[in-house]
Amino acid sequence: MEQITGTGVRVAMATRRGVREFNMDAAAVFESASGLVAAAVVDGIGNNVDGAATMRLVAETAVRIGPARGALAGLLAAAALVEDPGVGVAPDGVAVLALAEPDGPTLLAWVGDSHAYS
């Protein structure tokens, strides 16, 4: 999927489930009212339907919190979702969050062995 935001920031993402039954990877994009664009990629670990849903929620949380509070705060808020994900669910993963605006620097934060470079 490729998307050009209203501010002209270009975002693209792709994922492939591979041989597992569930795709634990997730991505999300959010353009804030200020024009800051947040993009998150989560490399989920495991293979279950609840974990896959949690990883999508993790990505969405990161992009919604990041523009208002900063890239690290976005990832920390998203990580809080897996501290106690509920009974019978033990999702895990690594993530990258990028905050970008036209003609400005791209701010990056990541956890785990995922990396991003601007």
Q: What angle do CA 13, 10, 65 make, to 5 degrees?
A: 75
pTM score of the predicted model: 0.85
Task: Give the end-to-end CA distance of the chain in Å, rounded to a whole number.
Answer: 20
| Sign of the alpha-carbon torsion through 66, 70, 75, 78 | negative
Q: What percent of the chain has pLDDT over 90?
A: 42
pLDDT confidence of residue 111: 87
What is the count of structural domains for the chain?
1
- Mean pLDDT (the chain) is 84
pLDDT tens-digit map of 4-45:
666 777 777 777 667 777 778 899 999 999 889 999 999 888
Q: 104 lies in a domain?
A: yes
Q: 46 lies in a domain?
A: yes
pLDDT confidence of residue 10: 77
Indicate which CATH number applies to the domain containing 95.
3.60.40.10
- In the structure, what pLDDT confidence band is assigned to residue 118 with cuts at 50, 70 and 90? confident
Domain carrying residue 67: 2-110
Higher-confidence position of 74 and 92: 74
